């Protein structure tokens, strides 16, 4: 089949390369326009554009997905289907430019975790299982009929980023199944059970603020889920501290939320329920360090209690 690939971030690149090396023809890539980046605010190409140019695939970067000139360019390609991986919501007109519409790869078992950050929220919410869905796009977010689903376990200490990377080979296989099924007309789209839907909204910087009144396991899961962005952070003695690695600690005591104690060479923090061990953290402007190395750098007068003080 003739494919139009739509994607922008680094995560999408592996899927573009996989499809370009397979039996289908990628006739064009659609990605976001170049944007200013870095201290110099120089224009930077999206990772998918860089990869497409290496693969010598034509690239389209519309400012608007509703632009008629852009839509006509897509129609002229006479493609069979669009493949969407980490891209914008497509308007109705963009869905109709290919013979079979558009298929989307999504990092959850839909209808669970509809939205921009399904992998991160699944980890942050302490899920033990998740998966991938390939589905036909319609005008509503992550709403269309399912083509293929693949399941996988979430490892106990796995971060959102690690899970995302582990999904790549499974996702490539799921896309192959879906496209082969569409090619041979051997796959029957299955409507989602919309009553089971739950959201996975785009992450915000403030999602990384640690609420020490939460359960220790909940904080641990959010530290994992939000790594590397927005991360998990708190304050100590007026400075922002990023918490990179944690582990719930089995102990019978209950301390004040945010209270820091050192026991048997462990950095322990009280929460709303249970104790959390801090394994790795980072002071603002410094490099990440092990917990005990961090404690050795504190002044005696520093108050050993975490908490946010927002302006």
Domain annotation for the chain: domains and CATH numbers: 2-196 (3.40.50.170), 205-296 (3.10.25.10)
Q: What is the DSSP string of 196-245?
A: G--B-PPP-GGGGB--TTSBHHHHHHHHHHTTTTT--EEEETTEEEEEEE
Q: How confident is the model over 23-37, as pLDDT tens digits?
A: 999 999 999 999 988
Which is higher by pLDDT, 20 or 296?
Answer: 20
Closest to 80 measured CA to CA, from 192, 8, 178:
178
The shares of helix, strand and coil residues in the chain, as percent rounded to the nearest 5, are 30, 30, 45
Mean pLDDT estimate for the chain: 94
β 275-283/289-290 pair status:
antiparallel
Burial of residue 303 (number of CB atoms within 10 Å: 0-12, 13-18, 19+)? exposed
Other CB atoms within 10 A of residue 191 CB? 10
Q: How confident is the model over 205-247, as pLDDT tens digits?
A: 999 999 999 999 999 999 999 999 999 999 998 899 999 999 9
Q: What is the pLDDT of residue 196?
A: 96
Q: What is the pLDDT of residue 311?
A: 38
Q: What is the pLDDT of residue 299?
A: 56
- Token pair in block for residue 113: 């975790």
Other CB atoms within 10 A of residue 138 CB? 15
Q: How confident is the model over 247-299, as pLDDT tens digits?
A: 999 877 789 999 999 888 899 999 999 999 999 999 988 999 999 899 887 65
Q: What is the pLDDT of residue 296?
A: 81
Least trusted range by pLDDT, from 62-66, 140-144, 247-251: 247-251
At 309, the pLDDT band (50, 70, 90 cuts) reads low
Q: What is the pLDDT of residue 283?
A: 92
Other CB atoms within 10 A of residue 201 CB? 12
Can you tell me the mean pLDDT for 178-199? Answer: 96
Q: What is the pLDDT of residue 212?
A: 97
Asked if residue 4 lies in contact with residue 101, where contact means CB atoms within 8 angstroms, the answer is no
Give whole-number Cα distances, 90 to 48, 103, 275, in Å.
18, 11, 45
Asked if pLDDT for residue 310 goes beyond 70, the answer is no
Q: What is the DSSP string of 124-175?
A: HTT-SEEEEEEEE--SSTT-SPEEEEEEEEPPTT--HHHHHHHHHHHHHHHH
Can you tell me the mean pLDDT for 180-205? Answer: 96
Burial of residue 252 (number of CB atoms within 10 Å: 0-12, 13-18, 19+)? exposed
DSSP character at residue 259? B
Asked if pLDDT for residue 61 goes beyond 60, the answer is yes
Q: How confident is the model over 75-133, as pLDDT tens digits?
A: 999 999 999 999 989 999 999 999 999 999 999 999 999 999 999 999 999 999 999 99
Find residue 262's DSSP bridge partners.
Answer: 267
Three-state DSSP class for 186?
coil
Per-residue burial over 257-267, b = 16 or more CB atoms within 10 Å of its CB, e = otherwise: bbbbeeeeebb
Q: How far apart are CA 138 and CA 119, in angstroms?
A: 21
With a pLDDT cut of 90, the percent of the chain lying above it is 87
Asked if pLDDT for residue 308 goes beyond 90, the answer is no
Query: Look-up: residue for tokens 């299982």?
Result: 129
Q: How far apart are CA 15 and CA 21, in angstroms?
A: 10
DSSP character at residue 190? B
Q: What is the pLDDT of residue 300?
A: 45
Give whole-number Cα distances, 216 to 94, 96, 129, 210, in Å.
46, 48, 20, 11
Asked if residue 48 lies in contact with residue 17, where contact means CB atoms within 8 angstroms, the answer is no
- Token pair in block for residue 248: 């719930």
With a pLDDT cut of 70, the percent of the chain lying above it is 96
Please state the three-class secondary structure of 272-307 as a single string.
CECEEEEEEEEECCCCCEEHHHHHHCCCCCCCCECC
């Amino acid at each position: 089949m003739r494919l139009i690939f739509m994607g922008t971030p680094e995560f999408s690149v592996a899927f573009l390369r996989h499809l370009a090396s397979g039996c289908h023809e990628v006739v064009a890539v659609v990605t976001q326009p170049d944007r200013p980046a870095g201290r110099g605010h120089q224009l930077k190409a999206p990772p998918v554009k860089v990869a497409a140019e290496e693969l010598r695939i034509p690239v389209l970067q519309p400012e608007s997905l509703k632009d008629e000139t852009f839509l006509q360019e897509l129609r002229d390609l006479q493609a069979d289907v669009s493949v969407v991986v980490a891209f914008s919501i497509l308007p109705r007109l963009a869905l109709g430019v290919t013979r079979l519409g558009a298929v989307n790869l999504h990092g959850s078992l839909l209808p669970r975790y509809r939205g921009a950050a399904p992998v991160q929220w699944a980890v942050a919410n302490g899920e033990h299982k998740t998966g991938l869905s390939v589905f036909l796009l319609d005008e509503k977010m992550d709403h269309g009929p399912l083509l293929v689903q693949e399941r996988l376990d979430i490892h106990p200490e796995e971060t959102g980023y690690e899970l995302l990377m582990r999904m790549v080979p499974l996702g490539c296989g799921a896309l192959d199944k879906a496209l082969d099924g569409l090619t041979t007309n051997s796959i029957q789209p299955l409507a989602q059970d919309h009553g089971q839907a739950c959201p996975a909204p785009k992450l915000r910087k403030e999602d990384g603020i640690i609420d020490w009144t939460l359960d220790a396991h909940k904080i641990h899961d959010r530290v994992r889920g939000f790594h590397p962005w927005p991360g998990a952070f708190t304050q100590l003695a007026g400075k922002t501290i990023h918490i990179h690695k944690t582990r719930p600690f089995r102990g019978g005591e209950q301390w004040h939320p945010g209270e820091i104690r050192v026991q048997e060479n462990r950095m322990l923090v009280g929460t709303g329920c249970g104790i959390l061990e801090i394994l790795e953290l980072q002071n603002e402007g410094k490099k990440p360090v092990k917990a005990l190395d961090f404690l050795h750098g504190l002044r005696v007068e520093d108050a050993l209690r975490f908490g946010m003080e927002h302006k």
